[in-house]
Structure 1
Amino acid sequence: MPTQTPLLAQVDNALLERIRKARHLVVFTGAGVSAESGIPTFRDAQTGLWSRFDATELATPEAFQADPALVWGWYEWRRMKVLQAEPNSGHYAIARMEQHIPQVTVITQNVDDLHERAGSQNVLHLHGSLHQPRCFDCATPYQLDSVPTEPEGGRRLPPPLCPVCGGAVRPGVVWFGEALPTTVLPQAFEAAASCDVLLSVGTSSLVQPAAQIPFIAQQHGAAVAHINTQPIISKHSDDWMLLGVASVLLPKLETQAFSNIRP
């Protein structure tokens, strides 16, 4: 039966030592990290007239086929919100760890680019990216304008057409009913299996198959620490649990493990 990992008011020295000596660090991030930059989580109430729509009903291939302008408009609104946001101190702390650890892999369930904008070099997007659309029919990548046209008040916005086949361009995210990217998921599993330390940040680690990532790391001998605002029920009693926000705890881990760096 799963045991609840003890909560730590202060960072444990044993965890700091594992981070300090790590040859490969994996940081597995979820919506909680982006939420601190002001990006609403997927299921949060939408603003303005977008509140009339159920996000889970817009995020399907069937919804796009039925009304591509509505779905494309909603995703362009989301992309606009992302571009208005800035990486927070948690994103920057992750990126700074690359200065001290030979290999750092970020595995994110978020579809924004805040990790990259903070300076992280090796980012695996399990759920795709708002910034990498592709043709619905032939999957050819499409280059977006840097600034989206704001679809005000739920206004439909016809998607661009693929220059190769003329099909409608779709958002480059994983929708309900779709599999995770076939190349990215094996890379994420491989990174988890080869790391010394895994930090699971801002995610409940309940949604499969991504939820396997901390367990894979644990099974291969890595130290696993969960950083979240709510306690995480872990199958492993020797995991660490740091209760709080990522923008505070990640810089704390980084500065205490590598005392010559200041946030």
Structure 2
Amino acid sequence: MSGGEAMSGARRPLVVVMSGAGISTDSGIPDYRGPNGLWRRDPEAEKLVTYEFSMADPEIRRRAWRMRREGPALRARPNVAHEAVVRLERSGTPVRVITQNVDGLHQLAGMPERKVLELHGSARSVRCTRCKARSGMEEALERVAAGDPDPACEACGGILKSATVMFGEGLDPAVLGEAVAVTKACDIFIAVGTSLQVHPAAALAGLAADHGARLVIVNAEPTPYDDRAQELLREPIGTSLPKLLERIAAG
């Protein structure tokens, strides 16, 4: 049975929430492409998260470490939108989160780790570009605070980077594959706080619609997939998303 076909019995719909930067702005984390987005305010900032520039230029790495240390992401707390997703999951509705964010706020709000697919990785850990060893971001930032502006891997001396997918890097195929599978299987696909312009993540909205899911887009600005959506919500995410998820939980 495809996602949009009539459901029988008491089976609850499988809901996929795909979140972008807009869901975290109320937590104090700026988005990237909105009217006041980071890339519009400081185009040079994009270099700090571009793999080629980061690997080639120690000064860019030093700026990136300062940005991580001074930025709001690791101090941010979940907001009412993250909490609403958790309430839906705890209501007994099957929920999977596919997120383009790297802030870990869905998990901090209470979503089980196994139900959150981080397409672009996590800013809460670091990875060695040589030996691939992973460790905590806080540990790396403590080394920066202690006077090491570009900390190297303690295991092999290689260049450390945030365990996020930088521009110029590919997505983890296992994570993307699981995201595609749940998208094809879902009954309701909610794209929230995302411009739906960054591929391949953006294409999941169309894939869900192609497989019969009800597509709902919650975003302040128009997206390329608005014509495929059965419901468009332009109101602030902090009020519109909780109301939408309450409706879904109530059946």
Q: Same fold (TM over 0.5)?
A: yes
TM superposition shift of 1:53: 7.5
Task: Give the 3 Å change call, closer, same or farther, for CA 257–138 of structure 1 in structure 2.
Answer: same
AA partner of residue 244 (structure 2): L
2:86 pairs with 1:81: no
Structure 2 counterpart of 1:64: 54
| Aligned position for 2:120 | 127
Deviation at 1:75, TM superposition (A): 4.3
> Which secondary structure does the structure 2 equivalent of 1:145 belong to?
helix
Distance 1:99 1:89, change over 3 A: same
Aligned-residue identity in percent: 35
Give the Cα separation in 1 of the matches to 2:141 and 2:26: 23
Shift of 1:61: 2.3
Residue pairs, 1:29-48, within 5 angstroms: 29-42=19-32, 44-45=37-38
Q: 2:102 matched to 1:111?
A: yes
Whether 1:188 aligns to 2:185 is no
Q: 1:61 to 1:232 in 2, by over 3 A?
A: closer
Match of 1:170 in 2: 161
C-alpha distance in structure 1 between counterparts of 2:195 and 2:11, whole Å: 27
Question: Take 2:21 and 2:49, find their aligned partners in 1: how far apart are those partners?
Answer: 16
Contact 2:196-2:225 at 8 Å conserved across structures? no
Counterpart amino acid of residue 194 in structure 2: T
Determine the C-alpha separation between the residues in 2 that align with 1:59 and 1:160: 17
Q: Contact between 2:65 and 2:144, CA under 8 Å: does it hold in 1?
A: no
Q: Is the 8 A contact 2:189 2:205 kept in 1?
A: yes
User: For residues 135 and 58 of structure 1, do their structure 2 counterparts lie closer, same or farther at Cα, with a shift above 3 Å needed?
Assistant: same
Q: Which amino acid letter does the alignment assign opposite residue 49 of structure 2?
A: A
Tell me, yes or no, if the aligned pair for 2:102 and 2:121 is still in contact at 8 Å. Answer: yes
Does 2:222 align with 1:231? yes
Contact between 1:77 and 1:151, CA under 8 Å: does it hold in 2?
no
Unaligned runs of 5+ in 2: 1-6
After superposition, the C-alpha distances for 1:178-212 in whole angstroms (9 at most, x for unaligned) are: 11111111111111001111110001212211111
Q: How many residues align?
A: 235
Pairwise CA distance, 1:69: 5.8
Matched, 1:141 2:134: yes
Higher relative helix content: 2
Indicate conservation of the 8 Å contact 1:29/1:110, yes or no.
Answer: yes
Residue 24 of structure 1 pairs with residue 14 of structure 2:
yes
- Inter-partner Cα distance in structure 1 for 2:228 and 2:165: 33
